[in-house]
Amino acid sequence: MTSPRQIFEDNIRPAELMLRVYRLLDTNDNLTMSGNLVDALRTLVNANEDEDLMVVYNEIFLGLVREAAQIPSSTLRKTSLAHLLRQAVVASCTSLETYLPAALLDKLPIVIRVFGRDFIPRDDSIVKEKFKGLTFTLDETLRLLGDPNSAEYISNKVIGYIGFSYLSGSKGVHVVGRLLGITEPMAQIATHLNRDSKELERILNDTVQRRNDIVHRADRKQDDIDAKPQEITYPWALQSVDTIHHVCLTLDEIISTRVAEFEAVVEADAEVVDEASV
């Protein structure tokens, strides 16, 4: 079974790739279609004199686009390349929203075995609000009596319910962290990263909100859908993608450490039962 961390890494990679491609192609709109450099490359590739060539050149990349590629110069202008940044934001949010339920699917049964009916923190208003509509039928309740796989059944029920109201942003991180036995998920993540918790929450939520604007409104704000698309810059997109990457990897480490403690409890209880049965 693929680990939640690997699932996250597989999904964040396209976001980072799009940022790198943007960085390669970003010429500040200084594309070259004539001059000594173009002439030298024309000779190098044996291009005819009447073939249009376009040189993409910056401090880290030199590329030649030939006429057969059918890519107009406007495609490599900043306004067009900005779509790479937008899609990087979308992909990064997808990686977060893929990781969170995967972490629950992998670890929640262990937590349920340790805490029983108290695995949902009753003093947490965010978690209570998230699951206020979750119910078990009489048939489901009776099924759980004496079922050795009841923890897995409850876990699947919880994750299935979440599928109708996806986990995202700082609240998603909070809900998953609390269900997996972490008292203050965002605060602990911030401590591990030596960052301010409120700042991390703001960046995380701003990124998710921007994803929603991009996907549902062509990057226009919800309260101003008739306006032009919002501007997006490489530093802003890079910060957003990096923040999601850092938050998820840190959360995964904290979860692994915490659940390892629970697994030790389960193993110790099993040993006690074995000794008692001898």
Does residue 66 sit in helix, strand or coil? strand
CA distance 236 to 227: 21
Is 197 inside any structural domain?
yes
Mean pLDDT of 249-264: 91
Domain count, the chain: 1
Mean pLDDT of 47-73: 90
Domain that holds residue 272: 87-277
Q: What is the pTM of this model?
A: 0.85
Of the pLDDT bands very low, low, confident and very high (cuts 50, 70, 90), residue 278 is very low
Which residues are CB-contacts of 251 (< 8 A; sequence separation ≥ 6)? Answer: 103, 173, 176, 177, 185, 189
Average pLDDT, the chain: 88
Is 141 inside any structural domain?
yes
Of the pLDDT bands very low, low, confident and very high (cuts 50, 70, 90), residue 251 is very high
Is 2 inside any structural domain?
no
CA distance 102 to 12: 14
* Cβ atoms < 10 Å from Cβ of 173: 27
Mean pLDDT of 129-142: 77
Tell which wins on pLDDT, 181 or 274.
181
- pLDDT surpassing 90 at residue 166: no
Residues 193-206: pLDDT tens digits?
999 999 999 999 99
CA distance 250 to 240: 15
pLDDT of residue 137: 77
Which segment of 7-21, 83-97, 116-130 scores lowest on mean pLDDT?
116-130
Of the pLDDT bands very low, low, confident and very high (cuts 50, 70, 90), residue 273 is very low
Is 253 inside any structural domain?
yes
Is 74 inside any structural domain?
no
The CB-side HSE value for 64 (13 A sphere, CA atoms) comes to 16
Is 17 inside any structural domain?
no
Is 28 inside any structural domain?
no
Residues 148-162: pLDDT tens digits?
778 888 888 887 877
Is 177 inside any structural domain?
yes
